[in-house]
Structure 1
Amino acid sequence: MKLLAIRHGLLLLENQIPFFVLEKLFSLTIECIPDRSHDVSLTDFGNDNLKKKVNTSDYHVLHLLHQCYLPNDESWEGKGDEDEIEFPKKKFRFPSASDLDLAGVKFVAGTGEDMFNVKFDKPQGLSRWFHRARFEIPTLSIYDDTEPLLRNLIAFEQCCLAVPRYMTSYGFFMDKLINSAEDVKLLENAEILHNYLGTGEEASDLFNNICKEVVVGRFYFEKTCEAAGNHCRELWPRFMASLRRDHFANP
C-alpha cells in the first residue's frame, strides 16, 4: 500500500519537481549506498519502451510518463502541424457505442500497446451491402488508479502549451463513445474495455467527467469520428443490422 501511495504522489501534477533537481538528489543518494553491485540511473525503470523515449529535456516525471503514451506510428492521422486544425473544424455529432452497434458497426479489440491506434474501416464496393464496418480500438484496462492517471496527464497538457494534447483527445473520444453503462457493457463484450472498477455506471461516470471544463484544441481523432458518424447516419447499414438482429440472430 505504501508503494501505491508513493506512486500516486509521484504522478500528481502539483508534486512535480524539475528533472535536474531529481537527478542531483538521486546522484547524492546513490553515492551514499555502500558496495553497489551495478550502476543505476534515475530513468532505469526496467521498461524498454520507456528507455527509448527518455529525453534529457523532459520537465519532470509526469512529462516522462506522458512521453511513454505518445503514438508510435508516424503515419497516424494525428501527426502533423499542431496549429493546422482546431476542434471543432465543423460541427458533427459523434454517435455512442450503442448507436454504432445499431448501425451494424462491429467493435474489435486492437492489438499492440499504442492506445491511439484507433481505426474505422468501412467495406467498399459490392461488399459494403453485406459486410459490417469495423471499429478497432486498443484494449484499455480500468483500475482505481486509472482516473487520477488520466486526469493528471490531461491537466499537464492543459498547463503546458508546448505539449501536444493526445491524452485530452483520447479522453474526449472515450467520453463521446461512452454515454451509459450499456456502452461500457458493449465494449466489454468486445474485449476493448476491462472494467475492474465494479459497475458499468462507475466506468461511464469516469469518462463522462474526465474532460469537463477542458479545452480540447486539436482533436486527433477527428477523421475517424467523422467517418463513423457519417456511416451511422446511412440507412442501409441500419437496415442490415436490424435484419440480422431481428431475424438471423440464431440458427
Structure 2
Amino acid sequence: MAPTSEKGEARSRTGARPPSPARSSPGTKAQEPVPPPQEDDTYPSDFSKIAVKVSKAIPRRYDDDGDESASPPVIYVVPRDLAEGRNKDAYEPAAVCIGPLFDQTQRSTEPWRKLERYKWCCVRKLIVNAEAGPGRRGSCWIPDLHTPLLRKCLDRMTDLEPQIRASYYAAEGMLGGSGAAGVVHDGHTLALMMLLDGSFLLHRLLKQGAGRMSLSTAGGGGGGSDDDDDDWTQVFGQRGVWGLVARDLLLLKNQIPFFVLRALFKLLIKDGRGADREDVLVQGGLRLFASLRPGGGRRPPAAARSSSSAMKITCRDVHHLLHLFYMSIDISRRPQQDQEQEQEQEQEQELWVPCATELEDAGVTFRAKTSTATSFLDVTFHGGVLEIPPLELYDDSEPLFRNLIAFEQTYPHLPAHVTAYAVLMDCLIKTPEDMRLLHKAGVLVSHMNGDRDVATGFFSRACAQARISSGESYLGFVMADVVRYQSARWPRWRAALVRNYLSNPWVVTSLAAAIFLLIMTVLQTFFAVYAYFKPPN
C-alpha cells in the first residue's frame, strides 16, 4: 500500500497525476522519466501568507484613536537630489534637534547640547504645574518627581510607538517605514525622545498661544513670575537663540507628529473646568511663526492677525509644525475663475515666462498687490498687469523656501504652489536689472548680506532640482496667460510707443504740439482747397 500512498501525496501536491515512465519501443532510445516540477521556495504556498506580505508592504499610519489606516507617512527626509545640492546646511538645524531622524551623538554635540539639557527643564516645569495645587503653581515648590504622572507620560509615549514609527518615511527596520535612511531607536529610547521633544515644543507653543498665556494659567492656576522668566535665557547667555529655534522647527526633517503634542497636552494641561483647550496649540504655532511668514516685512506675533478660527485650522488637521505653517500660507482657496480655467485647460504647458525686462518691453506692468493679498502666493494677471504681493528677502529666507519646496516635493497629493512661485520668480529675475525693476515696482526688497548677485540668484538656488508641472499649481495658468499676452503684437507696439515717446513730460509736450500743428495744417489745407473749388458768391 505504500506506493499508493506516495501517488496520492504526489497528486495532492501537484494537482495532476504524476507522469509515468516512458515506454521504449524497438529501435528507439528509451526516454528518461520527466521529474515532477519543483516547488518555488521564493513564494509561500499558502495564499494567506502572500496576503500578509502585501498588507505589510503598505505604509501605515494610525489615527488619534489608534485605528490603523492604509495612508502614507506624514514626515519625510529631504530627497537626495535636493539635499546634495548647494547650501546643504539649509536642511540642518542650527540650535535644536527634534525627532528620531537624529541620533544621540548629534544631539550631545555643540550647538545642540544646551537645548538638549533645557528639554529636561521643560519636562520638569510641565510636571510641576500639573502636580502642584492651585496655591503652589508658579512658586518654587519642588515635588517628588517619582510621580505617577511622569510614568503615565512615558507609558503613553510607549503606547504611541507604532503610530509614531508609522508617521515617518524611513528605512525598513529603523523607524518602521520603507525607503529613505533613518536612525535606529529602541522603544524606550523613542518614548523618552518623544517625551523630551514633545514637552519642549508644548512649552514653546503654550508660551505663544492665547496671547502669551503663562504655563500656570494654561494649567488652571494663578500666574507667577517664574512662568514669565521666559525660557531661562540666562542659561544660554543669548536671547537670539529662540529666533534660531523658530527657524529650526520649520525644517522638513526636524518634526515630530502633532498627535504626540496633543497626547501630552491632554495629560499635562487642563483648564480650571477640566476641559481640554487644544486650540491653544494651533494658536501658539501660528504666533510662533508669524514673524517668519514670507511677505511684506517681518511683523511681531501680535500684529500677525492670524488665528486658528480665521485659518479654519484645527488640531486634528495638523500633522506636524511644518504642515501647520504650510496650511497658514496655502492659497488653495483661490478664486473660482481660476478653478474654471484649470478645468478648461487640457494640455500641459511649459512652466516658464520671460524675464521682467522682456515682459516690460512687451507691455506687461508689474504692481505690488497689497490690499487684497491673502498670501505671498496670491499672484494674479489681468489686462496686462501682473500683481505680486510684496516679498522681503532675508538671509534665513532661503532655508525656509527650500524646506517648503522639499515638503511639497515629498508630501503626497499636495499642490506645489511654493515651488511654482519660486519658478515664476526665478524666470522673472535673471539679471540685476530685473531685480531693480521689481524693486522699483515694490514687489521685491532684499535685506540679504553680500552683493546684488546673491539676491538675484535667490530663487534659482531655492528651486534647484525641484520638479513640477504646470497642472500642479494655479500659477501655471497665470504664467500661461502672461506668455500669451507677451506674444501678442498690439501690447508690444503700445509699450514701444509709451517707452519711446511718452516716457518724458517734455517729449509728451513736444509730441502734443507737433500733433496740434499737424491738425492745424490739415485744416488750413482743407479750407484752402474747399475755397478754390467752391468760391463764395
For Structure 1 versus Structure 2, the TM-score category normalised by the shorter chain is 0.7 to 0.9
Return the match for 2:458 from 202, 206, 209: 206
CA distance in 1, matches of 2:420, 2:339: 10
Q: What does residue 141 of structure 1 align with?
A: 392
Give 1:62's match in structure 2, choosing from 322, 334, 337.
Answer: 322
In 1, Cα distance between the equivalents of 2:340 and 2:400? 24
2:362·2:495 contact (CA, 8 Å) conserved in 1?
Answer: yes
Partners of 1:142 and 1:176 lie apart in 2 by: 17
Q: CA deviation at 1:239?
A: 2.6
Q: What corresponds to 2:133 in structure 1?
A: none
* Whole-Å separation in 1 of the counterparts to 2:352 and 2:392: 27
Using the aligned pairs only, state the percent identity.
Answer: 34
Trace 1:167-206 onto structure 2 (pairs within 5 A).
Answer: 167-198=418-449, 199-206=451-458
Q: Which residue of 2 aligns with 1:130?
A: none
Q: Structure 1, residues 111-144: CA drift from partner, whole Å, max 9, x if none?
A: 233223222222xxxxxxxxxx211111112122
Q: Deviations over 1:160-219 (max 9, x none)?
A: 113222211211221222212211111110001122115442222111122111121424
> CA 1:230–1:73 in 2, change beyond 3 Å: closer, same or farther?
closer
User: Residues 201 and 81 of structure 1: is their aligned pair in 2 closer, same or farther, counting only changes over 3 Å?
Assistant: same
2:366 match: secondary structure: strand
| Equivalent position amino acid for 1:249 in 2 | S
Q: Which residue of 1 aligns with 2:36?
A: none
Letter in 2 for 1:147: E
Provide the residue aligned with 1:119 in structure 2: 380
Unaligned runs of 5+ in 1: 32-38, 123-132
Which residue, out of 284, 290, 306, partners 1:49?
A: 306
Is 2:467 the counterpart of 1:215? yes
Corresponding residue SS for 1:144: coil
Contact 1:102–1:242 (8 Å) recurs in 2: yes
**Partner of 2:336: helix, strand, or coil?**
coil
Aligned residues: 233
Q: Is the 1:53–1:67 Cα contact (8 Å) retained in structure 2?
A: no
Of the two structures, which has the highest relative contact order with CA contacts closer than 8 Å and spacing of 6 or more? Answer: 1
TM-score, with length taken from structure 2: 0.40
What is aligned with 1:229?
483
**Which residue does 1:90 correspond to in 2?**
349
Matches within 5 A, 1:235-246: 235-246=489-500
Shift of 1:10: 0.6
CA RMSD in angstroms comes to 2.8
Structure with bigger helix share is 2
8 Å Cα contact 1:182-1:200 kept in structure 2: no
Q: Please point out which of 10, 22, 41 is paired with 2:249.
A: 10
Aligned position for 2:408:
157
**2:352–2:427: 8 Å Cα contact kept in structure 1?**
no
Change (3 A) 1:155 1:93: closer
Gaps of 5+ in 2: 1-239, 271-276, 288-303, 506-537
Alpha carbons 2:351, 2:476 under 8 Å: kept: no
Corresponding residue number in structure 2 for 1:35: none
Asked if the contact 1:174–1:207 (Cα under 8 Å) also holds between the matched residues in 2, the reply is yes
Tell me the distance in 2 between the aligned counterparts of 1:168 and 1:70.
Answer: 12
Q: Which secondary structure does the structure 2 equivalent of 1:223 belong to?
A: helix
User: Could you tell me how far 1:95 is from its partner in structure 2?
Assistant: 1.0
Any idea what the Cα deviations from partners look like across 1:220-246, whole Å, max 9, x if unmatched? 212221221122223332232223222
Distance in 1 (alpha carbons) for counterparts of 2:475 and 2:361: 22
Tell me, yes or no, if structure 1 residue 250 matches structure 2 residue 504: yes
| Structure 1 residues 7 and 201, CA gap change in structure 2 (3 angstroms) | same
Looking at structure 2, the residues matched to 117 and 171 of structure 1 have their Cα atoms a distance apart, in angstroms, of 13
Distance 2:349 2:405 in 1: 24
**Structure-2 change in CA distance of 1:230 and 1:163 (3 Å):** closer
Aligned equivalent of 1:102: 361
Instruction: Give the whole-Å Cα distance in 2 for the aligned partners of 1:74 and 1:183.
Output: 29
SS in 2 for 1:179: coil
